[in-house]
Structure 1
Amino acid sequence: MGGAASFIGFLTNNVITFVFVLSLLVFVHEMGHYLVGRWSGIRIMAFSIGFGPEILGHTDRHGTRWKLSLIPLGGYVRFFGDEDASSKTDTDQLAAMTEEERAQSFAGAKLWKRAATVAAGPIANFILAIAIFAVLFSVYGRTVADPVVAMVTRDGAAAEAGIEPGDRLMAIDGVKVKTFDEVQRYVGLRPGRTIVLTVERDGQMRDFRIMPKLVEDTDQFGNKMEMGRIGIALVDPLITGVEPNGPAAKAGIVAGDRLIAADGNAIATYYDIGRYIGDRAGKSIVLTIQRNGEIRDFPIVAETLTETDASGNKKDVGSIGIAPIDPLVASIAPDSPAEAAGLELGDRILSVDGQAVGSISEVQRYAASHADKPVALSVERGGQTRDVTVTPKKSAETDIFGAQIEIATIGITDGQKPIRLRYEAYGPFQALGEGVKQTGSIVSGTFEYIANVIGGYMKADQLGGPIRVAQLSGQMATLGFSAVLQFAAILSVSIGLLNLMPVPVLDGGHLMFYAIEAVRGKPLGARAQDIAFRIGFAMVLSLMVFATWNDISSRIG
């Protein structure tokens, strides 16, 4: 019974969301080809979402067959006179047509009309991405952080260059920055390459030459990714909560200690240590902390806990029992599960379903993966310990980007306020401008990544195929519809860029042929086009195999 429920959950969270996202992107891409082709006077034989046998369809008054096909991994628009898979110009077939047929055929259309029809697909993907981002910015706005440094990691690139806490980041390589996210995005794509960071300190501008270091990061779903870092953060990794009788407490760690390093690896934020320890259940760790101006090392053995991530997957993680803030209930939402269960302000939550917790955020993460399931809390109130049962309920929450997501919660907070954050609202035209900027950022970021791979600064194992896209689709679905739309916008840009590659078989390859035809005054010969098609097909197939291998190896490795 549990296996069936798990399988159904996998289908719902991954396959169904994947098919929805991919079908949307394919429909928009092919609609771009269709609309410009129709406008150019080219007869359209078929418009298909998916490949293979037709599931259902309809023929319109223009003779176009609109259909849904069995394999939902793409789609196509078939033009009259363009039945060949490589879309090469068949002069013999063209000569055999009547004048009327030639005027309605793809091959008989003027060169600029063919080029416009082909280019319309990728362009439609870019337009879709811009539209999605514009809608999200217009509806939700955005929460951003000012580019002010709160923490500089010891031995990090920024510390070595002379960056200090309190510095306001003004520009990178001469380009002005307004948010901390812009700094992270720029730095993340430039590991191993020197950048010039302009900061304001005590009213004066100073330039610092810094080389970001390549690090491996892990997101909330356990996906690993490489990025450049210079060792600056918005928050100070200060320990304000230590679990009684936990590994850290037994080792001598106390509230007020500042995290400096773990096994010699510099720590930028409290969450860096959480990720590091999480991968080392049962292993010995040397934690370096700063206390009263002195640096001290503490050997600690991480205990093993079982956690459920945002996708509902259970895994063993390491813990030493520290937190950035005590697990004290500072607020209770009206009509919330916490209020119904009898929780009170000032309650200290000691454990959840028997698992010790060191912060309210740990309680919130646990509740998020236990919607509509009774959860047992051990609570300390007035020096006495009592047990409380609470059932997390799904409700609309606002994430750090201002988007509404549905997440299970019990309705409590620790009172900790995000630092240096501000909300930005956008009118329709501003939102459109931000949509263009966001799409442009993805395009430039993609080219930066390719340059990093070619230059040896990053590995190519971050290139994903259908399996990874399906997995990410399901993960985004757990965060809500707005997260799925953001993912669809990013994927739409990727599809647009991929199709513009000058590789035969892809739209960019056809455009390359048309450019050659414009210079020569006539198309390439059928044999040359056929050879180019075979080479292009082999290249695309190799790329698909490589991406799929990355997907598989990342799941088993």
Structure 2
Amino acid sequence: MNTVIAFIIIFGVLVFVHELGHLVFAKRAGILCREFAIGFGPKVFTFKKNETVYTIRLLPIGGFVRMAGEDPETIELKPGYHVGLLFNSAGEVNKVIVNNKEKFPEAKMLEVEHADLEKELVIRGFELSDEETLREYKVAEEAYFVMDGQEIQNAPYNRQFGSKTLWQRTMAIFAGPMMNFILAFVIFAFLGIVHGYPVNDAVIGQLTEDGAAQDAGLRQGDKVVAIDDSSVASWEELVSVIQANPNKELEFNITRDGESLSIPVTPKAETVEDKSIGIIGVYMPMEKSFLGSFPKAATETFNWSKEIVVGLGKLITGQFSLDMLSGPVGIYKSTEVVAESGVIMLMRWAAVLSINLGIINLLPIPALDGGRLMFFAAEAVRGKPVDRHKEGLVHFIGFALLMLLMLVVTWNDIQKFFL
């Protein structure tokens, strides 16, 4: 149950932060955002604030922000349609009743002759009580269609995604992955402040209870000057000497509280990848510093990003197998293992997953943020946008292929971990 809770929290936070980036920058650009959703499928929880409906959906495989002009909720009023009109205090149409008009006896009934609810914001037509006189009504900037008892906000062209500048659209899409990198940086910085960050000094960090270092009398904070009369200046050098000498007694020359000491330590042998290495049961030294945590967090975010990109590079070079990919099931099992090491490691795992999510979304694959950005780059080069229908078809095919890949990866994870 602890693993389930940890997985839900981590997944929820990563998706929430990602989609929040899209939402904030879209709203800053003046785009009408109809829905902010965590998950896909049937709605489990929903509430509305201002113009946006916030939902949690059943299937935990992502999330989305539905922006006006990018969704199918546009209602077209064609000539001959009969609609009901309700007006605000300024005399503008603020509600257009599409069906079930009998429930709105106070509405003015109109046969539509012409309607432009994007640019002109007008409806012209004949009142059913006076079919001889053509009348024109101004539509409010914030107006709603009422269909099947549900209100759907009309989106004038200036509130639609496609009306915004290339830069505004680019930032609305790029902001999602960007927020994942920012989240990772914040987590690493927080851990550095409250727990400390590793430093590359030849200093003994925390000791394990059953390790050779504890048995030999080493203490946390001891500075290792030399091993067997060979000087040691960094943590990497210290680890290298220890690993190269399993079951061999080593003379540690250390300084403790200003005093020089010599302590013999025999590393225990452990087999890693069919190779015997020495270990003494100590962790890398940690340092707490508020200001120092921020550059360390930036470095760690960069290093993990580079590591993930290098791993993805194997897709291109052919050094790839399906086992290198993990879906929700694989991530759940990894979370289960990491959770056993405590909250600190779980937070670090969340930061790494956040970086991974950001990088994956930046790949130039249709239906992902990177695919959208690829079309924006083409628009910048061509000087005009790619045909929306063609772009939509590409994204649809890309989404279908991604879902197929997700199913294959998930089945592979189930076989690997449960069968």
What TM-score range do you get, normalising by the shorter chain? 0.5 to 0.7
2:144 counterpart residue number: none
2:23 counterpart residue number: 34
CA distance in 2, matches of 1:57, 1:257: 58
Name the CA shift for 1:257/1:423 in 2 (closer, same or farther; >3 Å). closer
Is residue 64 from structure 1 mapped to residue 78 from structure 2 by the alignment?
no
Deviations 1:209-264 (A, max 9, x none): xxxxxxxxxxxxxxxxxxxxxx8645742289xxxxxxxxxxxxxxx8986999x9
CA distance in 1, matches of 2:241, 2:179: 39
Name the CA shift for 1:179/1:113 in 2 (closer, same or farther; >3 Å). farther
Is residue 98 from structure 1 mapped to residue 87 from structure 2 by the alignment?
no
Correspondence list, 1:71-470, <5 A:
71-84=59-72, 97-98=118-119, 101-144=156-199, 146=201, 179-180=235-236, 233-234=242-243, 236-238=245-247, 265-269=274-278, 418=282, 421-427=284-290, 429-452=291-314, 454-455=316-317, 459=321, 461-470=323-332
Name the CA shift for 1:58/1:180 in 2 (closer, same or farther; >3 Å). same
1:497 counterpart residue number: 359
Structure 2 stretches of 5 or more lacking a match?
74-115, 121-140, 142-155, 204-226, 250-265
CA distance in 2, matches of 1:446, 1:512: 21
> C-alpha displacement at 1:529, in angstroms?
1.4
Deviations 1:435-462 (A, max 9, x none): 1111111110012222345435565523
1:473 counterpart residue number: 335
TM-score between the two structures when normalised by the length of structure 2:
0.63
> C-alpha displacement at 1:553, in angstroms?
3.9
The structure number with the bigger radius of gyration is 2
CA distance in 2, matches of 1:115, 1:20: 29
Q: What is the number of equivalent residue pairs in this alignment? A: 305
Name the CA shift for 1:424/1:80 in 2 (closer, same or farther; >3 Å). same
Contact 1:232 1:268 in 2 (8 A): no
Equivalent AA in structure 2 for residue 267 of structure 1: S
RCO comparison, higher one (Cα < 8 Å, 6+): 1
Name the CA shift for 1:474/1:504 in 2 (closer, same or farther; >3 Å). same
Contact 1:33 1:119 in 2 (8 A): yes
CA distance in 1, matches of 2:181, 2:321: 27
CA distance in 1, matches of 2:17, 2:175: 10
2:126 counterpart residue number: none
Contact 2:242 2:267 in 1 (8 A): no
Divergent runs of 4+, >6 A? 164-170
Equivalent AA in structure 2 for residue 136 of structure 1: L
> C-alpha displacement at 1:166, in angstroms?
7.6
Structure 1 stretches of 5 or more lacking a match?
1-11, 86-94, 149-163, 171-177, 185-230, 241-255, 271-415
Equivalent AA in structure 1 for residue 334 of structure 2: L
Correspondence list, 1:7-18, <5 A:
12-18=1-7
Identity of aligned residues (%): 32
RMSD: 3.6
CA distance in 2, matches of 1:78, 1:493: 24
CA distance in 2, matches of 1:505, 1:121: 14
CA distance in 1, matches of 2:314, 2:182: 27
Contact 2:245 2:267 in 1 (8 A): no
Q: Which moved more, 1:49-58 or 1:123-132?
A: 49-58
Deviations 1:120-178 (A, max 9, x none): 00000100000000000111113456479xxxxxxxxxxxxxxx9887798xxxxxxx6
TM-score between the two structures when normalised by the length of structure 1:
0.49
1:488 counterpart residue number: 350
